[in-house]
Chain A
């Protein structure tokens, strides 16, 4: 059953990933990408990473893809690339990608047992924190959200804070980049557009 789900989700993920780069319509590409991300979240669930699956769907498939679709529709990107494709360039790309996959397959084939621990569930209790009480449930029942949170706020607290700084800088950067650089209207211009300038009444008294 596990294997069936694995093949199912990976097949759909790879097909929709191909859809991203083969579709001529950018909106269809973005939707394919979102679908591929959702399937990757399913694979995360199969790997017992429930928190990351939720984050993947919420942040990446939800937030980032909405941003992509928003930009595509805002810019009104043309559907097709009208430039005739260079066949030789595409062939070169395909050969490069296949060579990469071949290299990885070679590596994986060379280590048929090296990457697979013998009994990955039986020894899981050993990886509990040293101070864990015996009442603690076994690691595979422990909330992975809780464990990630524990790790994040103790051991990785400095990178966490730096990440928050990075997000702040990114926000400011986006605002600066997107700020319109149109020439500012002077206040006098504004007034003249709305109403004819009112003649000051007491000005003569002051000048005299």
Chain B
């Protein structure tokens, strides 16, 4: 059985859905953050899969390595984002002694 682009897209969709479930279902801020990162990774997989399978373009200005460059940027920005987010979680924990979202209701209307 030949593995096509659709297989990779389906796997990425499943991983994305699992990450979405984690964000909605879990109450621990750190786990929610991990699930967010998982959704980013699923998007990365679609980028790489498209860059691998869509290389039959006629135009010479088209460069199929661009998808991988995008993934490179996503990984870099995600690393910076994780650092800032975890610092925020640590600051929040210092203030409230908890990482459970049901205890952090200051902004609740």
Q: Which A residues contact B (CB, under 8 angstroms)?
A: 2-3, 6, 10, 13-14, 17-18, 20-21, 26, 29-30, 33, 36-37, 40, 43-44, 47-49, 51-52, 55-56, 59-60, 63-64, 67-68, 71-72, 74-75, 77, 81, 83, 89-90, 93-94, 96-98, 100-101, 104-105, 108, 111-112, 115-120, 123-124, 126-127, 129-130, 139, 144, 147-148, 151-152, 155-156, 159, 163, 166-167, 170-171, 173-174, 177-178
Between A71, A108, A112, A152, the greatest number of chain B beta carbons within 10 A of the residue's beta carbon is seen for A71
CB distance from A11 to the nearest CB of B (A): 9
Give every chain B residue within 8 A of A14 (Cβ-Cβ).
11, 14-15, 18
B53 touches A117 (CB 8 A): yes
Classify the secondary structure of A's interface with B.
helix
B3-20: which have CB < 8 Å to A? Answer: 3-11, 13-20
Q: In the bound complex, what is the Cα–Cα distance between A71 and B83 (angstroms)?
A: 10
Which 4 A/B pairs are nearest by Cβ-Cβ distance?
Answer: A21-B22, A104-B13, A170-B80, A97-B17
Q: Flag B65-100 by CB within 8 Å of A: 1 or 0 each.
A: 110110111011111111110111111010000011
Nearest CB of chain B from residue A59's CB, rounded to whole Å? 6
B90 neighbours in A (Cβ, 8 Å) = 71, 74-75, 177-178
For the complex with contacts A127-B55, A166-B80, 17 further pairs of A-B residues with Cβ separation under 8 Å are: A21-B22, A33-B34, A40-B44, A59-B79, A67-B82, A74-B90, A75-B89, A77-B28, A111-B6, A112-B6, A115-B4, A126-B60, A148-B68, A152-B72, A167-B80, A170-B83, A174-B87
* B108 in the interface (beta carbon within 8 A): no
Q: Is the CB of A108 within 8 A of B6?
A: yes
Chain B, interface size category, equals 35 or more
The answer to whether B56 touches A123 (Cβ under 8 A) is yes
Bound complex: CA of A90 vs CA of B89, how far in Å?
Answer: 25
A147: which B residues are within 8 A, CB to CB? 65
**Other-chain residue from B13, B53, B75, B100 in contact with A81 (beta carbon distance below 8 A):** B100
